[in-house]
Amino acid sequence: MVSRWACDRCGFVAWTRDPSEMAEVTGSHLLAHHSDALSQSDFRVSWDCPYCATAKTAYDTDGAVAEFKTHLHEHVADRIAGGAHVADRVGWDGVVRVDAAAAGDEADALRTHFHDAAGLVVAVTPTPERLVRALDEALGAWPRRAVIVSTGEYDFEATPDVDFEGRNVEIVELDPRLSPAEVGETVSRILDDNHEPGERVSLEVSVFHQIVASFDVERAVAFVRMLAARLADAGGVLQLYVDADADPNVATVLNFLDETIDLRVAVDDGRFVRRP
């Protein structure tokens, strides 16, 4: 779980795994809102708090800015929630766009965050070995059930130290010639066979770019919408890992999915953020 702070002036939300990091996040963000409260003249730097009567003047610019950020943070410290999860933002029922390359450390940080809080994990990924490694290293305990779907054969030599014996994991190899609708049907059947009533589901789709590159825009859009509708019946969060620069059609597909996507998050310096 993580700490969460939401700005009451805009749509910015931040989640940090280390609560002590939140002071820098809140202070920097609020300073951007109130930059006009900071001024420099006569070789000195001054700030006037927009929330109270506190005002300071100093010669040390860096020190004055740091003090102002700390002061701003203190005004919102009581609105920082602990024990939070990014999926709480959508009530564990919706579609989350993750702005991170699927095979990257930033994506690993978010996928492990989502999967750690779910009972059933279904991941459609081109790099199953990377996913297994990330889960094994980051999670204290694996989910009750994990089904990893990939178009390639799993290379067990890439994860020789992972003990599959004590984990409820299934690896499904898909025919790479399957259409988006057939991939979606496979995922739907996996949900039917593995989901327990009331259990949280974390559904990862890290093949978004491959779907967009291989098929037309209409079928790519339909694929995501059908998955979202199917998961809504089970109750869970669908994560789309998106690198907008990976394919020129990605932006087009995302425009059509604007009303389907409930939350957009990214990783900034190790912190999860939702920008306005």
Question: With b meaning 16 or more CB within 10 Å and e meaning fewer, what string describes 18-32?
Answer: eeeebbbbbbebbbe
Structure tokens, 119? 């009972």
In order of their start, the domains of the chain are: 2-82 (no CATH), 87-274 (3.40.50.11570)
248 versus 131: which is more confidently predicted?
131
DSSP state of 128: H
Contact 110, 239 (CB under 8 A): yes
Structure tokens, 54? 């506190």
Q: What is the pLDDT of residue 27?
A: 97
pTM: 0.90
Q: Could you tell me which of 222, 228, 189 has the C-alpha nearest to residue 205?
A: 228
Given a cut of 80, whether residue 245 has pLDDT beyond it is no
Please give the average per-residue pLDDT across 214-238, as a whole number.
Answer: 91
Whole-angstrom Cα distance, residue 210 to residue 220?
Answer: 10
How many residues appear in the chain?
276
Q: How confident is the model at residue 270 (pLDDT cuts 50, 70, 90)?
A: confident
H runs (alpha helix) in the chain = 22-33, 61-76, 105-116, 128-138, 180-194, 208-214, 217-234, 250-256
Q: Could you tell me which of 149, 148, 151, 144 has the C-alpha nearest to residue 118?
A: 144
Given a cut of 80, whether residue 175 has pLDDT beyond it is yes
